[in-house]
Each structure stands twice: as C-alpha cells, then as structure tokens.
Amino acid sequence: MTTVLILSVGGSADPLVHAIDQNRPDFVYFLCSGGDTDAASQRLITDEVIQVQKGNCPYCKRAYETRGSNPPIPQQAGLTAEQYAIYSVNNPDDLGEVLRRCEAISLDIATRFPARPRVVANYTGGTKTMTLGLGIYALRKAPEWEVQFNASGKRTNLIKIERGDIALPVELHTFYHQSLEEELNELEEKSDYESAVVLLHSTLTRVPFPESIREQLAVRKCRIEMLAAHDRFEYKEAISHASQMSDSQEKFYKKLKHINDILEAGKPWRPETLSGHELVEDVVQNAERCALRHRFDDAIARLYRATELLAQVKLYRDYGLQTGKLDISHPAIPGPAKPWLETKKNSKGIVKIALQDGYRLLQEMNDALGDYWKAQEEKLRSFIEKRNLSFLAHGFKPISQSTWNHEGRAWRAWLRAGIDLIKR
C-alpha cells in the first residue's frame, strides 16, 4: 500500500528526518510557515540551513561559537523532487489558515492517490497553532488518517526534540470514546434516537476500539435501538432489544404491544387485568419527544392520535365496540344514537366513526369519559382546529413553538385528565 506522510515543520530538522526514515513514505507533504524571514520553516525544505552552536569550554570556561550547515530535509531524507510537496501558511498562528491548508493537502491526496493510501499525520514540528491545526484535522480524518508524534525516552529539552526520538502512533481510543459518549448524551437529551443509532453504527464500523470499549458501546447501542424502535411504535422490535436489557423493560413493551394487538385485531379484552391507558400515555410521551426535536407539527399530530385513541380504548375495553367497524345493533348502543350512526355507513355498509363521534357516542352512553368530553368540548374543538390548520393536516401553517408551548401544554393536560378517567 502507498504510504503518505504529512509533517508540520518547525525549526528542527532531525525529528522530521527521523519520521521519514521510520515511516518510509512514498510521498511527503510538508506543512510549513512561509515568507522571506529566517524564521520561516519552509527554508528547512528548500535551502541549506546554517546552524550556529554556542557553548562554554568545560576547561577554561570561555564562550565559543561553531558554525555548520545542514542540507535541506528532503536531501537528508533521500527524497527526490517528485516525492514531496510544500504547503505553506503565511501566518503560522492563524488556525483557520492552517486548517485550510490541511484541507488542500487532503484534496491533493485524493487526486494524486485515488486508491486510498495509508496517510500518516505527524504533528511534531511547527508553531503551536500549526501542530494544533494538523492535529485537529487529522483527528477529524481518523481512522482514515493515522496520527503520530515524535517522542523520546527521556526529554530534557522542552523547546525542541533533539535526539533519540521515535515517531509513535497517538492513542486515540479514549478521545474517540469520550467524544462519542458526549455526542450520544446530547442526542439522547433531545430524544433523537435515530441519529444516535446512525452515529454509533458509523463510529463502530470505522474506529477500531479495544474489545472492552466495544462491549460497552454494544450495550448502549442495543438500548438506543430499543428506544428508537419504541419511538417508531415498533413494539415488537423494541421487545427484541429489551430482552437483552432488563426484564422490566421487556414486560413494559410486551404490555404495549399486547394492547395494540388487541385494538388492531379486535381480540378479546379482559378489563380487570389490562387497563389500556398505558398505550395512550405512550403516544402523549412520543409527542413530547417530537417537540424536543422541534418537530411541532408531528407533536400535534400525535396528540390528535392520542385523543382519538383514548376514546377507542374506552369503547373497546368496556363495551367491545370498535370505531373502525361499529356494530350498531350492539346492546350497549342506546336507541337515540342509532339514527346518526346509520349515516356513517360507507358503500360497503360498514360504520366507521371518527374522533369526535367516538366521544359523542360515549356521552350518549352516559360514560364518564363522554361526560368529560361534553364538558370540555369547546376546548377540545379549539385544539383540533389548530391541528387541522397545520401543514401536516389540512392547512399550510406549520405549528410554531409558541403554539406548542401554549395549546400543546393545554391539550396534554386535557388528555392526562381523560387518561385518569379510564385508569383501572
């Protein structure tokens, strides 16, 4: 595989020559400070550099000065002119400029080496800003890029690395693990479980974490996938993930799925053992999670569904009546309700009733939830009107955060009072 080495260049040539010797790259990019001054590190790449060494004689204590010269770094490292490129920055303390030059190097690598070479970024040399910039950019590109730093066993000169240095890979597992955990925490706070699943999957497939970290992240991935499935109302999938987490979570999702299956298929319901209010509460909480992600139209749509579901649960649990296929000959339906229910028949002779008709039927049956609806009918109609005008319903006006904060809060209070009425 082709190896490409990126070096930030400072005032010392030795660490860079050592890094080239140890990595044996096919091509080297030098990130230098430019300009005509003696301080410009580009001179180490293009010119012979005069070195002045000063000291004191250990015997007579007199000061002395010796002068010598070092050939350019490419010559010292045995690089031909076709094996390296120079990318200079005008201001080596401008982080933005450094990052832009790193991006230019990255684009050149993609063009020059389309077969995806091994890329090693060594940030030993250069100004603090240059090393920071190359380090930041390399971290963004890792693990596609490897990150290196020259170190020695015992370093006495903290200004520059003088001797005995070796280019060592930088351990990034802790950094990536901590960064990943922070991003996941932020996404979970917003209940953005789908994005968290995507982030976890992409990170686990590209970062070679140690087994211990992978095991931790696998547990968290299972939990987040469970929450994501729950958020999509895919209770069967949530149960599958919950079975690997805890008995209480598995029981919770099984209960929600059981209630949902009963309503969907019209299975027998034993009110004394199963209340059903949990499913309605779950939809309300789902709406609140949508609002955390600023999806206010979605949130209001879910409150509408929770309101409809509340009546559906009550009608089926206590009377065996299904709103999607209503038997108007059922003995629980009072005589005065039958004429208007007849008008709800479709072309196939099936009676289907919508949200407000469900509550009207409950009220005519002298049910407590129906009485609550009648007493609060005007308030509920105002909520429904807001929903009907929203972009996801029948209108062209998206639900604003202000609308959610006011009408959404009041609607949730309306629902929770109704939920309390059907609890068993």
What tens digit of pLDDT does each residue of 319-368 get? 999 999 999 999 999 999 999 999 999 988 899 999 999 999 999 999 99
Do both 116 and 18 map to the same domain?
Answer: yes
From 136, 169, 202, give the residue that closes a domain.
Answer: 169
Note the pLDDT of residue 48: 80
Pair 223, 175 in one domain: yes
pLDDT for res 159: 41
Taking the C-alpha atoms of residue 203 and residue 205, their distance in angstroms, rounded to an integer, is 5
In angstroms, the CA 15 to CA 415 distance is: 69
Distance in angstroms (rounded) separating the CA atoms of residues 27 and 6: 9
Give the pLDDT band (50/70/90) at residue 269: very high
Q: Does position 167 have pLDDT exceeding 90, yes or no?
A: no
116: left (phi over 0), alpha (psi -120 to 50) or beta: left
Number of helices followed by number of strands (H, E) in the chain? 18, 8
Please indicate, yes or no, whether residues 195 and 163 belong to a single structural domain of this protein.
Answer: no
- Looking at the fold, whether 322 and 217 belong to one and the same domain comes out as no
Q: Residue 51: what pLDDT?
A: 58
Same domain, 99 and 225: no
Is the same domain home to 281 and 390?
yes
State the pLDDT confidence band at 206, using cuts at 50, 70 and 90.
Answer: confident
Domain of 83, CATH number, reads 3.40.50.10770
- Are 227 and 299 found together in one domain? no
Whether pLDDT at 173 is above 50: yes
Are residues 190 and 285 part of one domain?
no
The confidence score (pLDDT) of residue 420 equals: 97
pTM, to two decimals: 0.74
Q: How confident is the model at residue 23 (pLDDT cuts 50, 70, 90)?
A: very high
Confidence class for position 408, pLDDT limits 50, 70, 90: very high
Measured distance CA(388)–CA(397) in Å, rounded: 10
Examine the pLDDT at 157 and tell me if it is beyond 70. no
Give the end-to-end CA distance of the chain in Å, rounded to a whole number.
Answer: 68
User: Mean pLDDT score of the chain, rounded to an integer?
Assistant: 90
At residue 64 the predicted structure's pLDDT band, cuts being 50, 70 and 90, is low
Query: How far apart are alpha carbons 74 and 46 in whole angstroms?
Result: 8
The residue type at 238: A
Q: Assign residue 240 a region: left if phi > 0, alpha if psi is -120 to 50, beta otherwise?
A: alpha
What whole-number distance in Å separates Cα of residue 378 and Cα of residue 166?
78
User: 96-105, 299-308, 339-348, 407-416: which range is least confident on average?
Assistant: 339-348
More confident residue, 424 or 367: 367
* Per-residue pLDDT at 100: 96
Q: Residue 176 above 90 pLDDT?
A: no
Contacts of 380 (CB under 8 A, 6+ apart): 307, 356, 359, 373, 414
pLDDT at 38: 67
Q: Which residues pair with 8 in a beta bridge?
A: 31
Q: Give mean pLDDT, residues 362-377.
A: 96
Read off the tokens for 244: 């690997």
Containing structural domain, residue 222: 171-260
Final residue of a structural domain among 260, 284, 315 = 260
Radius of gyration of the chain from Cα atoms?
35
Rounded average pLDDT over 226-236: 97
Q: Are residues 289 and 253 in the same domain?
A: no
Closest CA to 118 of 145, 148, 82: 145
Q: What is the pLDDT of residues 71-112, one digit of tens each?
A: 999 999 999 999 999 999 999 999 999 999 999 999 999 999
Q: Which residues make Cβ contacts (< 8 Å) with residue 44, sequence separation at least 6? A: 9, 11, 13, 16, 32, 72, 73
Pairing between strand 145-152 and 118-122? parallel
On whether the CB atoms of residues 29 and 5 are closer than 8 A, the answer is: yes
Q: How confident is the model at residue 35 (pLDDT cuts 50, 70, 90)?
A: confident
Check pLDDT > 80 for residue 139.
yes
Q: What is the pLDDT of residue 12?
A: 85
On whether both 163 and 175 belong to a single domain, the answer is no
152: confidence class by pLDDT, cuts 50, 70, 90: low
Considering the domain architecture, whether residues 280 and 410 belong to the same structural domain is answered as yes
Contact 70, 61 (CB under 8 A): no
> Is residue 32 a contact partner of residue 14, using CB atoms and an 8 Å limit?
no
Are 414 and 279 part of one and the same domain?
Answer: yes
Beta strand spans in 239-291 (E): none
Count up the domains in the chain and report the number: 3
Confidence of residue 161 (pLDDT cuts 50, 70, 90): very low
**What whole-number distance in Å separates Cα of residue 66 and Cα of residue 24?**
33
The token duo for 19 is 């890094």
> Do 303 and 411 form a contact (C-beta atoms < 8 A)?
yes
Query: What mean pLDDT do residues 51-68 have?
Result: 66
> 146, 169, 192 — which closes off a domain?
169
Sign of the CA dihedral 103, 19, 1, 146? Answer: negative
